[in-house]
A and B are shown apart, each in its own frame.
Chain A
Amino acid sequence: MANTFTKADFPVFDAYKELTYLDNSATQQKPRAVLERVEKYYREENANPLRGLYELSVKATDAYENAREAVRKFINARSIKEIVFTRNASESLNLVAYSYGRANISAGDEVLVAISEHHSDLLPWQILCKEKGAELKFLECDESGSYTADALKAALTPKTKLFCIAQISNVFGRLNPIKEFAAICHKNGTLIVCDGAQSVPHIATDVQSLGVDFLTFSGHKMLAPMGIGVLYGREAILDRMPPFLYGGEMIDTVTRCGATFAELPHKFEAGTVNAGGAAGLHAAIDYINELGFAELERREDELTSLAFNEMKKIPHVNIIGADDPRDHHGILTFTVDGVHPHDIAAIFDAENIAIRAGHHCAQPLHQFLRVPSTARMSLAFYNDEEDIRRFISVLKTLRRKMGYDR
């Protein structure tokens, strides 16, 4: 069946016909092409990849390694050696913290983290700094979620070893000027770790142009199955890093008293890998490429603008972050005066509209913004105007449902 790039491609909407799914920043739904690819892998290609010397294992290896090449091309990395498969962005960030961090951060060093980071781009650094006696510092943004080059320059010191920031924040939806920040960091001798979990699914990514040292993202936020993620690292840096996990298929030789480790990227992929998930990610990339980022971004921008402008008209609704819908990339985090975000989500749920409520794994940011929690709607290209209209019509009735103006 040919792809239509609408909800018709997504079987979950056959199972839940009434569902309006607006929690895409948490995870995206899966198109038939991805589900069928995963099933085909397990039906026709499954064996333990990278080990066997028989035909089926070669097929499994091909599925896995072809996916790596597809990822390389997708983010324009120089070499497949720079593409490490992980479970998700969180694991990718932990890999950098455990492997690069423990080998290179010492007492007195500094790690700079953007205040809007997801806990998975904060906790690994917090733990690392505590262990090593290094200092964890925060780069603060303004209320609209904007970080300035001047603030970054002022925050960097000769001791700053790493700067960690998402390309797009999962709360603000704002695109950070990563290319400019990477240049500033490198001038200071600082490496930049960029969390692409919210950006790679929504805008075209070119790691060479961005100039980042590390980029992390999750497959499940871009149509692929859960349990497959990516760490991109510059080859020269990855090459010098010690392994993260130890086990099968990441070694060269093992003796009773030691081991030598496999070449990149296998050095970082201990144990049996998620070849089925990688094949699914490959299919997701093919699907996105077939749609094209120009069209994907056009649709998401249009829907974001529609939702943003309608939300702005509703009294007592406050959007967190920038005042321009183009700075939101499908992420609209908001509060409603007098209504707790969990009640907001429950009322939407009653109308079969899925949104997120809480602190979105960004508690320090919520403390910084002085709001205990927020609600968030996040869309993807497969949403349509009807989804936005339904969302807006419920949002309009929310305060009345909670007993205001009755």
Chain B
Amino acid sequence: MTDNFYGEVLTDHNLHPLHKHELPTATCCHEGVNSTCGDDIVLNLEIKDGIIVNGSYTGSGCAISQASADIMLELVIGRTPDEAQHYKELFFKMIGGDITEEELEELEEAGALQNVAKMPARVKCAMLGWRTLETLLSGEGGG
């Protein structure tokens, strides 16, 4: 892995998350757990008229799992569930190590997690938020 893996984007989202709070207006929520690491998040979404108008997460875990969930919410809030699924697919492609420059740009800050692909032990941490989102959206039938 690279020396500067924990760059500012990651540590900022971990220490000063934008979306780590309860969400009383949530229309759906789902808990995601990495039992081997102890990462544990609850993802809350408020979906109105086919748009994810608000989202949050609560829980605990390593910096990668927490920052990744925070960055994910930053990307998907204001989007449709289909658009969110598209981002999820891009994120999975990035972690799988086959993403184009243009696609990487689309992912904005989530691109900071690109190097996780080189750390097999941490892939699960980076994916936790996205996997939870995937389950939540498929369960909601797209809102």
Interface residues of B in 88-127 (CB under 8 A from A): 119, 121-122, 125
A347–B6 touching, CB < 8 Å = yes
Is B142's CB within 8 Å of the partner chain A?
A: no
- Tell me whether B37 and A403 are in contact (CB under 8 A): no
Query: Given the complex, which residues of B lie within 8 Å of A346, measured CB to CB?
Result: 1, 5-6, 64, 119, 122
Q: Is the CB of B64 within 8 A of A343?
A: yes
Which B33-54 residues have a C-beta within 8 angstroms of A?
36-38
| A372 & B60 in contact (Cβ 8 Å cutoff) | yes
Asked if B6 contacts A401 (CB within 8 A), the reply is yes
Q: How many Å from the CB of A148 to the closest CB on chain B? A: 30
Q: Which of A342, A358, A404 has the most CB of B within 10 A?
A: A342
* A373 contacts across to B, CB distance below 8 A: 37-38
Pairwise interchain contact B122-A342, C-beta atoms closer than 8 A: yes
B7 → chain A, closest Cβ, in Å? 9
Say yes or no: is A349 at the interface (Cβ < 8 Å to chain B): yes
Residues of chain B within 8 A of A349, CB atoms compared: 1
Shortest CB-to-CB span from A70 to chain B, Å, is 37
CB distance from A169 to the nearest CB of B (A): 20
Chain A positions 332 through 368: 1 when the CB is less than 8 Å from some CB of chain B, otherwise 0: 0000001111110011011000000011000000000
Evaluate contact between B3 and A350: CB separation under 8 angstroms: yes
User: Interface residues, chain A, CB within 8 Å of chain B?
Assistant: 338-343, 346-347, 349-350, 358-359, 372-373, 401-404
B residues with a Cβ closer than 8 A to A are 1-3, 5-6, 8, 11-12, 14-15, 36-38, 60-64, 119, 121-122, 125
Chain A to chain B: the 5 pairs with minimum beta-carbon distance, closest first: A403-B11, A340-B62, A342-B62, A343-B63, A372-B38
14 contacts between A and B (CB under 8 A): A340-B63, A342-B64, A342-B121, A343-B6, A346-B5, A346-B6, A358-B36, A358-B38, A359-B38, A372-B60, A401-B11, A402-B6, A402-B14, A403-B6
